[in-house]
């Protein structure tokens, strides 16, 4: 019996999504209870959230559950499958750590909440945007895991769009709120990948 790598990739990706949903479930409920004091959800921000969800989630789902994208399939191999799986596991670990550190300060979008504190320790000590690191690792992991040219790369394009449109706005919002404390934090941290970016 040969291992059906495409089926394995689909199952692993779906398990990853379930795991991610479980990690986000509680933070979502907790943070919703805390009032927002600043909401910076511009049109650009809303647009980029839709693009990101489409690339990371909806396009792979279309590939998994329909045959629309089958023309773009290629043959996977066990090495790609294993690398993709390891990256997705790493991504889940990073999501868990960032949610733990942000607690009720977390938001899907660009918001500040009542009594918002700047988190600068733990996973936030050397990286300013470790949750975006987790999303990049997700997107890159999916590119290794999913043997389809569209469903594989759509996450990098989708999340990349959100990241580059959002991160400047987010840092501006944080600087407006935390002033010098944030400037100093910027000086001693990397954006997403320690030592690289």
- Between 71 and 187, CB nearer to ligand SAH: 187
How many separate helices (H) and strands (E) can be counted in the chain? Answer: 7, 2
Tell me how far apart the alpha carbons of residues 51 and 33 are, in angstroms, rounded to a whole number.
27
Q: With contact defined as beta carbons under 8 Å apart, do 110 and 40 qualify?
A: yes
Q: Least distance from C-beta 64 to ligand SAH, angstroms?
A: 27
Q: With contact defined as beta carbons under 8 Å apart, do 56 and 142 qualify?
A: yes
CA contacts within 13 A on the Cβ side of 32: 6
Q: Least distance from C-beta 63 to ligand SAH, angstroms?
A: 27
Q: Least distance from C-beta 76 to ligand SAH, angstroms?
A: 30
- Between 124 and 159, CB nearer to ligand SAH: 124
Binding site for ligand SAH (CB under 6 A): 98, 102, 105-107, 110-112, 118-119, 124, 129-132, 170
Q: Least distance from C-beta 143 to ligand SAH, angstroms?
A: 20
Beta bridge partners, 36, equal: 113
Exposed, middle or buried: residue 175 (CB in 10 Å: 0-12, 13-18, 19+)?
middle
Q: How far is CA 88 from the centre of its chain?
A: 11
Q: Least distance from C-beta 13 to ligand SAH, angstroms?
A: 22
- DSSP-derived letter for residue 110 is S
Tell me the C-alpha to C-alpha distance, in Å, between residue 142 and each of 3, 46, 65, 110. Answer: 19, 24, 16, 25
- Between 9 and 105, CB nearer to ligand SAH: 105
């Amino acid at each position: 019996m040969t291992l059906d790598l495409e089926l394995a990739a689909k199952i692993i990706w779906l398990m990853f999504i379930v795991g991610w949903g479980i990690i986000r479930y509680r933070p979502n409920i907790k943070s919703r209870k805390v009032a927002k004091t600043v909401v910076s959800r511009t049109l650009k921000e809303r647009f980029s959230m839709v693009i990101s969800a489409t690339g990371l989630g909806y396009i792979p789902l279309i590939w998994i559950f329909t045959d629309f994208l089958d023309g773009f399939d290629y043959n996977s191999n066990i090495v790609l499958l294993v690398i993709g799986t390891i990256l997705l596991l790493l991504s889940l670990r990073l999501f868990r750590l960032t949610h733990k550190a942000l607690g009720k300060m977390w938001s899907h979008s660009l918001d500040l909440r009542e009594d918002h504190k700047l988190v600068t320790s733990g996973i936030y000590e050397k990286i300013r945007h470790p949750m975006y690191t987790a999303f990049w690792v997700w997107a890159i992991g999916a590119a290794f895991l999913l043997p389809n040219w569209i469903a594989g790369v759509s996450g990098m394009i989708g999340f990349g769009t959100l990241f580059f449109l959002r991160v400047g706005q987010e840092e501006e919002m944080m600087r407006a709120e935390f002033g010098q404390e944030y400037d100093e934090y910027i000086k001693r941290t990397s954006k997403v990948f320690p030592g690289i970016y």
